[in-house]
Amino acid sequence: MSEQAISLLQQILEQQQKQTDLLEQIATQNLALIEALADDQGLEPDAAPRTYLSGAPVLGGR
């Protein structure tokens, strides 16, 4: 493999590592936001949902 190809592959790898780091930061921040919103609404994180995403109640849910 030529030096130029190796150099380009190293640059790609560095950019992918930066992208991965940024995605991990986003995931961490999103989790913190979700937890803060749940705390604000007094929801138990392990509690079963009372409604579906559509807003329809879960039958048998409490």
DSSP conformation class of 9: H
Q: What angle do CA 48, 52, 56 make, to 5 degrees?
A: 120
Residues 50, 40 contacting (CB under 8 angstroms): no
d(CA 61, CA 22): 38
Provide the pLDDT for residue 35.
87
d(CA 26, CA 43): 23
Radius of gyration of the chain (CA): 22
| Domain count of the fold of the chain | 1
Closest to 39 (Cα-Cα) out of 31, 48, 50, 27: 31
pLDDT digits (tens, 9 = 90+) for 8-42: 999 999 999 999 999 999 999 999 998 888 776 66
Provide the pLDDT for residue 61.
52
Which whole number is the average pLDDT over 4-11? 96
- pLDDT band for position 50 (cuts 50, 70, 90): confident
Model pTM? Answer: 0.58
Which residues form the domain of 49?
1-62
Is a pLDDT exceeding 70 seen at residue 45? Answer: no
